Amino acid sequence: MTILSTFSIDSVLSPSGDSFDSDREGLRDALSTGDPTARKQVFDFANRYWATVATEAWNEGERSSEIMEICLDVKRLCEWVYETSREESEERYDTGGAVTTSGMMLYVLGDTDGAIERFREIIRRPVNSYFHESTFEKLISVLIKDDRADEAMVEVEQLLESYPHNDFGARVKEAYAHEMGSGGSAGGGGTKIDAETYGKVTTALSEQFSRDIETLSAQGLPPAELQVRMGDAQKAFQSAMELLSRLL
């Protein structure tokens, strides 16, 4: 049984109200309608639902024409959202999500370079932190799967530079440099680490994160600044742990 068979493909998607049923015709209607409000509503649903369905189906090995058509439709809708947002003075759409999702669809469709370009585009400009982190994870994953470990290392270095308040970044960088290999290779293309190394690095990161929080708390910073600094520390810690887990 394919993943698509677990969803109600033939139900009706209405571009009104808060609840949407999963339906291919609704996605197609969103591409043909000239009503920006309807398109936005359908995009919100398509971005959450259809992109996930298509990606999971592809990951499970399904290469049906229906999957490819869904990917193309979602990509077209995401690109419409992105272009519309660029032309408007007020951003009414989730452009971070649109660019990230269109990148996912490009990857599923076989355009790895196009996907990487999309991911990098959204990472290089200020966006909602959720999409920055999510997109970064996708970028690293695609680069590693495409045997571009050196480029992944550069992305890691640039991310760590974005969190100057944390001194454990060097540990993550060292782990990546050793295991992924900027001048050599570890077994299996240099893209994996063993369980022992993973355990040691994650333990060190956890301990350093706790020390960072204690240090910040003792500095007597204004509440607003303390909150920002702790948020940066938390984001960096989570990113480091997630990135390392992908190499296990």
User: What ranges make up the beta strands (E) of the chain?
Assistant: none
Q: At what angle do helices 65-87 and 95-108 cross, to 10 degrees?
A: 150
Distance CA 59, CA 190 (A): 23
Pair of tokens at residue 47: 């971005």
Distance CA 220, CA 234 (A): 19
pLDDT means per 10 residues, the chain with 248 residues, are 32 34 58 66 65 67 72 78 63 67 83 89 60 69 78 73 52 55 37 61 73 81 80 74 68
pLDDT at res. 123: 74
* DSSP 3-state of 204: helix
**How many CB atoms lie under 10 A from the CB of residue 130?**
11
Long-range contacts of the stretch 134-138 (C-beta < 8 A, 24+)? 134/100, 135/96, 135/99, 135/100, 135/103, 136/239, 137/239, 137/242, 137/243, 137/246, 138/100, 138/103, 138/104
Pair of tokens at residue 27: 């996605």
pLDDT at res. 25: 64
> Could you report the per-residue pLDDT of 176-197, keeping only the tens digit for each?
555 454 433 333 333 455 666 6
Place of tokens 């970044």: 169
pLDDT at res. 44: 67
Backbone phi and psi for residue 2, each to the nearest 5 degrees, phi listed first? -80, 165
Q: At what angle do helices 169-176 and 223-247 cross, to 10 degrees?
A: 20
Sign of the CA dihedral with 156 first, then 160, 161, and 163 last: positive
Domains and CATH numbers, the chain: 1-146 (1.25.40), 166-248 (no CATH)
Beta carbons of 45 and 91 less than 8 angstroms apart: no
Backbone phi and psi for residue 232, each to the nearest 5 degrees, phi listed first? -60, -45
Strand partners, 23: 10
Distance CA 88, CA 85 (A): 5
Distance CA 40, CA 36 (A): 6
